[in-house]
Amino acid sequence: MNQERPASMSAFWMPFTNNRDFKAHPRLLVSADGMYYKDVDGNQVLDGAAGLWCVPCGHNQPKIVAAVREMVGQLDFAPTFQMGHPAAFDLAEKLMDYSGHKFGHVFYTNSGSEAVDTALKMALAYHRARGEGQRTRLIGRERAYHGVGFGGLSVGGIGGNRKSFGPLLPGVDHLPHTHNLELNAYTRGEPEHGVNLADELERIVALHDASNIAAVIVEPVSGSTGVLVPPKGYLKRLRELCDKHGILLIFDEVITGFGRLTTPFAADYFGVEPDLMTTAKGLTNGVIPMGAVFSKAHIYDAFMNAPAGIELFHGYTYSGHPIACAAALATLEVFKEQDILGHAASMEQYWADAVHSLKGLPHVIDIRTIGLIAGIELSPIAGKPGARAFAAFKQAFADGVLIRVTGDIIALSPPLVLQKQHIDELFGKLSTVLKNLD
């Protein structure tokens, strides 16, 4: 494959990218191994973002690469509509094991966005299957990112992502976000203040009546809007309120799933069990697109009580693609063999200490950490929101570190296999960047 600069960069309409700026000053990756990318000029770039939160086991993981190679030569494609192949069933069982059998079933998609739309549709169809088809209202949250499908956009809470796309889904409300710099700045783990924000669900219930509400969807930790960690007790309170009112609780674990918080899922970290859970990214170590919706047994069972026939009119051509299943099965084996969760847990303290050591550097107004995630919030340049963090992103890449920025927040989420020397390198370079930032 081409490892040179492409002859032209005009035709590719790049996603979530300032195309004109990028094409004038491109950042091109040509290979990856372990904790590092290599760019087109041969420079090593330390991966502080696990690509896009999706490479827990590190790049070019030999077992996963071998599994993909083997499957592509054995079964390149097989439908899963009225057909099947063994790996899709084996993976589903293994995912139940990995979840500690807190869920009973799993539905495959190809991305986080598809997983979100699938979960929302499941919630609506579940209530209908039980004779409560009037429960159609969906509740999201401000500053949430649930992908880019119309369902996910509608329950999502990022103005910039929504504003160009018309009225979106009707019948959606939003809980307030939980970010509070005044009360909760510089926290490790869950912030102290904000459990009461979960009670806003009561206000929405009072307005619409619980009998009209299908589901609440939240990211346990919001990633894409800059690492917003739930206040102590907040998720438990949401669970209690959903139970009280017969509302399904959906956790969007597209970034928090597969070890990001040192536990199998964030649900385990916070000790709160959702009815449905969306995942993607780390599921295949980012090697092949795949998403999965985990469902409690009672949701699936409600569909199985229907008259004989197709129970859920939903699915994707590539649901349970054999190569994705092979990658996911190998990923789960690597998690077990290399004790990825145990290793992540052993790094958590060193990680948090290193991130919080940036306190006091120019422009830093907050630092928050949980698991192997960090959010470093910068004060914005007046009249130019996002410009300061974007400048940091560009300089960090030039200095050999890949970070991710959203607004004026630097969000870090390295591969979980990182060692102390990678943490030292990451924060050594990042502190230099921050010290020299305008």
- Site residues for ligand PLP per CB under 6 A: 111-113, 116, 145-147, 219, 223-224, 252, 254-255, 280
Q: No. of H helices and E strands in the chain?
A: 16, 16
**Closest distance of CB 410 from ligand PLP, Å:** 16
Task: Identify which of 144, 145, 202, 205 has the alpha carbon closest to the alpha carbon of residue 178.
Answer: 144
Contacts of residue 244, defined as CB under 8 A and 6 or more positions apart, other chains included, come to none
Q: Which is nearer to ligand PLP, 120 or 396 (CB)?
A: 120
Task: Identify which of 401, 390, 375 has the alpha carbon closest to the alpha carbon of residue 438.
Answer: 390
Q: What one-character DSSP code corresponds to residue 211? A: G
Contact 35, 28 (CB under 8 A): no
Q: Which is nearer to ligand PLP, 253 or 408 (CB)?
A: 253
Q: Which is nearer to ligand PLP, 146 or 321 (CB)?
A: 146
Q: Which is nearer to ligand PLP, 113 or 331 (CB)?
A: 113
Report how far residue 113's alpha carbon sits from residue 126's, in angstroms, rounded to the nearest whole number.
Answer: 20
**Closest distance of CB 17 from ligand PLP, Å:** 14
Q: Which is nearer to ligand PLP, 374 or 434 (CB)?
A: 374
**Closest distance of CB 141 from ligand PLP, Å:** 11
For residue 179, which amino acid is it? H
Q: Which is nearer to ligand PLP, 280 or 364 (CB)?
A: 280
Can you tell me whether residue 377 is helix, strand or coil? strand
Report the side by side order of strands in the sheet with 213-218.
Answer: 105-109, 291-295, 276-279, 248-252, 213-218, 137-141, 172-175
Q: Which is nearer to ligand PLP, 116 or 267 (CB)?
A: 116
What does the block give as tokens for 170? 């009707």
Can you tell me whether residue 351 is helix, strand or coil? helix
Report how far residue 381's alpha carbon sits from residue 391's, in angstroms, rounded to the nearest whole number.
Answer: 11
Please give the residue whose beta carbon sits closest to ligand PLP in the complex: 112
Contact 407, 389 (CB under 8 A): yes
**Closest distance of CB 169 from ligand PLP, Å:** 16
**Closest distance of CB 312 from ligand PLP, Å:** 20
**Closest distance of CB 337 from ligand PLP, Å:** 26
**Closest distance of CB 30 from ligand PLP, Å:** 23
